[in-house]
Structure 1
Amino acid sequence: MHPSAQIVFLERVGLYKAPPVSDIKPHQIPPGYEYIELLTGGRVSFETEHGLREFGCGTLFWHIPGDYTIHKNNPDAPYRCLTILFRIGEASTRRVPRWTIWERESEVLEFSEEILHSYSDSSLDREILCSYAYTRLFWQAYSQVHRKPDPALPLPLRKMILMIDQNFAANLSISDIAAHARVSIPHLHALCRLHLQQSPHQHLMTRRLQEARHLLLSSEAPIKKIYGDCGFMNVECFCRSFRKRFGVSPGEYRRQHGNYLFQS
């Protein structure tokens, strides 16, 4: 189901500025609603699975029925947040985490101003605004989670995934990865087969090819530079791996996606 399919109405948009006190009266979200608090400034403490943690600008709190709004304020830096109340047409379930981080502060502030301004403009279609606001927030929460390893994975695999994500362009060997994950090479292979259905080398190649595809679409860098930036040892290996994965050469992929869709 599309994330916005269950929305009935954009009930209310506001900008809350907490007073300089430690505790704010919390409110429980009633059935039939979802409530968003997007911090645009200040600091707030929130109880996570790892204990009480302080959050700042860019933290996105997504409340469903039964949840309570944030309320542990920092009186030395009172929090400010964009608040959005959605009325939901069916039973609400948690599809994104209770809190995520929108990393680019400038985007947070621009989005907040855009929503407040648009909500104030009665000439704009409220249904379209509702769909846009919900989908944009949902995408931020969803994509932030999927950029990080699944916390349910064994710790060695999470270490491997982070190492590959941050160092895919380096000359990584499987022994380097296993040493970083603090397991033997056979054990790393077994964990990958069980949880990822691929070998460590396949995961590394997937990440390199993902970056190559991004660079082919977003830059004009020559292929002889892209293969090195993505960790491939030579252009022949890169082109062979790319064609095997995507069915076309890197040059053909760039031509296909660089043209207008209906251009012959």
Structure 2
Amino acid sequence: MSPVGGSKSPALIRDNQVCFEIIREGAVYGKNHGDSKLYGEGSVFWHGSGEITVSESPSDGYYSCLVAYFEYDPGVMAEPWPSYFQWDDRLVMHRFADEMLYAYHSAALRRSVVGNLLWARLQFQLERYRQSLDREVVHPKLQLAIDFINLHYAEPISLDDVAQSADLSVSHLHMLFREHMKESPRQFLIQKRMRSAGHALVTSREPIKVIASQFGYANTENFCRAFRKFFGRSASEYRSAYIGGLNS
């Protein structure tokens, strides 16, 4: 996960190498110089040799992404990809990214197997994107609500707060989320908190009680219950699995 405002510096893609960045949380500015558009969850960037990764977020924002590097033989042209495309189903994207991270760090699978699966899935998602370029644009008030959650999900916000940020009633907020996101605003908020909490669990040694409070849960039992329901394992089991895989 990048710090507020983005990464300190972009990464340079080496010769005979390509890189994919899948934006999982937050939003980032595009890869072209001067591009002021923000790209959020499910955005996929492709970078060829000599290019640099995306790195900038709004001054009060952040982003996190899954990064995958692929190497190809010298003298062989890298397969052409568009510089950007969109993963059409953000929930599927999150599940697949979690599976890839677990397979890479904890399941003792060969890296070539994981890489081949990831490459094939990106090709599949690119084809789906090409077939749905005329898809509906996100409702502007829904985007305001999403932006508010992205900025304040770690605080004890309510659905009233989210609805007010977009000048909507709570019932209208529910309707827009169900129609466009295929989930409720509460489910969207919980998954933001859980994925960020999972990241904190495996990248810090903070006690679970502290992490719970950092992501809007004053009651640790409520956090642990929500975490188990979301990930299918306890917070301590989740931490042990990933840290164990990383240290093996």
RMSD of aligned C-alpha atoms?
4.3
Following TM superposition, the consecutive aligned residue runs of length 4 or more in structure 1 with deviations greater than 4 angstroms are 141-146
Q: Tell me which of 41, 44, 54 is aligned to 1:102.
A: 54
1:236 partnered with 2:221: yes
Which of 176, 179, 188 in structure 2 is aligned with 1:203? Answer: 188
Shift of 1:195: 1.1
Higher strand share: 1
Match of 2:74 in 1: 126
Given the two structures, how large is their TM-score scaled by the length of structure 2?
0.50
C-alpha separation between the residues in 2 aligned to 1:214 and 1:128? 37
2:235 corresponds in structure 1 to: 250
Q: Give 1:184 deviation, angstroms.
A: 0.9
Task: State the shift of 1:142 in Å.
Answer: 5.4
CA gap of 1:199–1:104, structure 2 versus 1, over 3 A, is: closer
2:122 maps to 1:174: no
Match of 1:221 among 178, 189, 206: 206
**Deviation, structure 1 residue 223:** 0.7
1:127–1:224 distance in 2 versus 1, CA, 3 Å: farther
One-letter code aligned to 1:174:
L
Q: Does 1:155 align with 2:145?
A: no
Offset at residue 103 of structure 1 (A) = 2.1
Based on CA coordinates, which of the two structures has the bigger radius of gyration? 1
CA contact (8 A) 1:157 1:192 kept: yes
In 2, distance between residues paired with 1:246 and 1:256? 12
Total equivalences in the alignment: 153
- Give CA-to-partner distance per residue, 1:201-258, whole Å, 9 cap, x none: 1111010001011111211111111111111121101100010111110000000111
Q: Give, as a single letter, the amino acid of the residue that structure 2 aligns with 1:165.
A: N
Q: Work out the CA distance in 1 between the residues paired with 2:87 and 2:184.
A: 25
Q: Give the aligned partner of residue 126 of structure 2.
A: none
State the distance in 1 between where 2:76 and 2:234 align.
Answer: 40
8 A contact 1:242–1:250 mirrored in 2: yes
**Helix, strand or coil for the counterpart of 1:232?**
coil
SS in 2 for 1:260: helix
Q: Which amino acid aligns with 2:153?
A: F
CA distance in 1, matches of 2:46, 2:225: 45
C-alpha distance in 2, partners of 1:249/1:219?
A: 17
After superposition, the Cα gap between the structure-2 partners of 1:248 and 1:127, relative to the gap in structure 1 and judged at 3 Å, is farther
Q: Distance in 2 between matches of 1:262 and 1:152?
A: 43
Structure-2 separation of matches of 1:217 and 1:204: 21
Residue in 2 aligned with 1:190? Answer: 175
Secondary structure of 1:126's aligned partner: coil
- Structure 1 residues 254 and 185 mapped into 2: Cα distance closer, same or farther (>3 Å)? same
- State the percentage of identical aligned residues: 30
Please list the CA deviations of residues 126-182 of structure 1 after superposition, one character each: whole Å capped at 9, or x if unmatched. Answer: 168947xx78x95xx458998xxx981101111111111111111111111101011
Q: Give the one of 150, 158, 165 matched to 2:150.
A: 165
Partners of 1:216 and 1:254 within 8 A in 2: yes
Aligned partners of 1:127 and 1:251: how far apart in 2? 48
CA contact (8 A) 1:151 1:158 kept: no
Contact 1:101 1:144 in 2 (8 A): no
Distance 1:128 1:172, change over 3 A: farther
| Structure with greater helix share of residues | 2
